[in-house]
Amino acid sequence: MTRTPIIAGNWKMNLLRADVAAYAEALAAAGPPEAPVDVVLFPTPVYVGLAATAMPGWAAVGAQDVHAEDGGAYTGDVAAAQIVDAGASWALAGHSERRQYHGESNDDVAHKARRALGAGLFPVVCVGETLEQRERDETEAVLDAQLGAVLEVLAAADGAGVGAVIAYEPVWA
């Protein structure tokens, strides 16, 4: 099976409204890639809707995070349905900074990916080891644990993980 390569850019907590418009104009002026590739941009959460309407049609927009629940009293979090409603079609789950600074576990990431998939988003599940884990030769065990939790939950979901993407980014890179 041939897969389309993905070029993704995570804006993290950078860029303002004017920057989104300028970026969209520059991207549109550059034109689509010559080779078949999915281009996905992950703007700051407050600009997902703006980016989704401003970007050229060949560039998709995703959310930097998705909550594991459909809704509720989760101040500051965003539900998968809200992400879809804003015009995004992708969502990150398990980025190393979310794991590190927000204490997200492998199970948390798995349930976020499942919620994204269930809402029709393409989940990008981020995995990777720290430098310390690499130096202790624990890379394989860390990745097995991260992937194992996600695959177990997605296998139980409708679609069995069809459409999920795994992004390997070592924390130390």
Tell me, letter by letter, the H, E, C secondary structure of the chain.
CCCCCEEEEECCCCCCHHHHHHHHHHHHHHCCCCCCCEEEEECCHHHHHHHHHHCCCCEEEEECCCCCCCCCCCCCCCCHHHHHHCCCCEEEECCHHHHHHHCCCHHHHHHHHHHHHHCCCEEEEEECCCHHHHHCCCHHHHHHHHHHHHHHHHHHCCCCCCCCEEEECCCCC
Domain assignment present for residue 55? The answer is: yes
Residues 120-147: pLDDT tens digits? 999 999 999 999 999 999 999 999 999 9
> Active site includes 95?
yes
Domain assignment present for residue 97? The answer is: yes
Domain assignment present for residue 66? The answer is: yes
Residues 84-122: pLDDT tens digits? 999 999 999 999 999 999 999 999 999 999 999 999 999
Domain assignment of residue 29, given as a range: 6-168
Domain assignment present for residue 1? The answer is: no
What per-residue confidence (pLDDT) applies to 96?
93
User: Which comes out higher in pLDDT, residue 100 or 3?
Assistant: 100
Domain assignment present for residue 116? The answer is: yes
- Out of 135, 140, 152, 169, pick the active-site residue: 169
> Active site includes 25?
no
* Least-confidence region, from 28-32, 60-64, 151-155: 151-155
Q: Domain containing 134 — which CATH number?
A: 3.20.20.70
CB atoms within 10 A of CB 11: 16
Domain assignment present for residue 173? The answer is: no
- Out of 95, 104, 111, 129, pick the active-site residue: 95
pLDDT tier at 160, thresholds 50, 70, 90: very low
Residues 46-71: pLDDT tens digits? 999 999 999 999 999 999 999 999 99
Please determine, for residue 155, whether its predicted confidence score (pLDDT) is greater than 60.
Answer: yes
Please tell me the pTM assigned to this model: 0.92
- Quote the number of domains for the chain: 1
pLDDT tier at 156, thresholds 50, 70, 90: confident
